[in-house]
Amino acid sequence: MKAPLSRTLLKGRTLRYSLRRDRRTRRPGLEVSRRDGLVVSLPARAREEMVHEMLHQWSDWLIKKLDEYDCWDGPCVREYATGSRILILGRPRRLKLKALAAGARGYKAELDDEHLVLAMAPERILDPRPVLEQYLRSLARDHLPKRTEHWAARVERWPSRVIVGERTTRWGSCSPSGTLSYCYRLMMAPPDVIDSIVAHEVCHLRHLDHSKRFWRLLDEVYPHHRRGRDWLNEHEDDLIL
């Protein structure tokens, strides 16, 4: 369960933010994103007065970012209903929400070139976001291992396992043990963009760094990988559920 948002004034404007304390945090920090709003990080024993000192010190930068992301009131949460647009494999689809019979569990999904039809319990229709996440995770668990197998064959290295989860700072990662982890929201990106991430992580199975050898291998395996990264940087906000 997420902690409630704190509220303060920043140059006369009401601001809501999340306060995080962590024993591993050594320095206070500020992060602003459309997904999380303003997050203030403090070391576990830091004075809470530091929050106001930091907000004052960085007020000009904060105001610019908060305006840019439109998140003065906290995370910018999208609302979904029948007719809403959502990207699936890089293509915009219109949602059609339907109710299952009373007492039914789970959901049913149908995807075509223009629509994503989701049938769910009637009480879920008012907030279908959890069902959308379930659907994207299911799609990712089916799609990403297959693409990983494809690119792994190209470099003749195979992961110990493939994990689909929620990653907030990276689209994918490779552990020293050979586990590849992906963010399920990649399923909102076009197939070639997905492949750029998968190929990148698979190349780490041979070079677990970003050395010249790694980049040479990735350039050889997937020459257009930079286009994928550029697309993600440009459209990152479109991939927030």
CATH superfamily of the 134-239 domain: Metalloproteases ("zincins"), catalytic domain (3.30.2010.10)
Are 18 and 6 contacting, i.e. CB atoms less than 8 angstroms apart? yes
**Helix, coil or strand: residue 165:** strand
b/e 174-186 (16+ beta carbons within 10 angstroms → b): beeeeebbbbbbb
The pLDDT tens digits of the residues spanning 170-226 come to: 899 999 999 999 999 999 999 999 999 999 999 999 999 999 999 999 999 999 999
- In the chain, the percentage of residues whose pLDDT exceeds 70 is 98
Are 171 and 183 contacting, i.e. CB atoms less than 8 angstroms apart? yes
Are 42 and 28 contacting, i.e. CB atoms less than 8 angstroms apart? yes
**pTM value?**
0.75
Q: Specify the pLDDT at position 145.
A: 97
Strands (E), 106-214: 107-111, 115-120, 161-165, 172-174, 179-183
225 or 169, higher pLDDT: 225
Decide if pLDDT at 103 tops 90. Answer: no
Decide if pLDDT at 169 tops 70. Answer: no
- In which band, very low, low, confident or very high, does the pLDDT at 70 lie, cut at 50, 70 and 90? confident
Decide if pLDDT at 25 tops 60. Answer: yes
The pLDDT tens digits of the residues spanning 118-158 come to: 999 998 999 899 999 999 999 999 999 999 999 999 999 99
The residue-averaged pLDDT of 80-99 equals 95
Residue 143 CA to its chain's centroid (Å)? 17
Helix 212-221 and helix 129-155, axial crossing angle in degrees, nearest 10: 100
Report residue 220 as tokens: 């050889």
Q: How many C-beta atoms surround the C-beta of residue 216 within 10 A?
A: 12
The pLDDT tens digits of the residues spanning 228-238 come to: 999 998 888 78
Domain ranges of the chain: 6-69, 85-128, 134-239
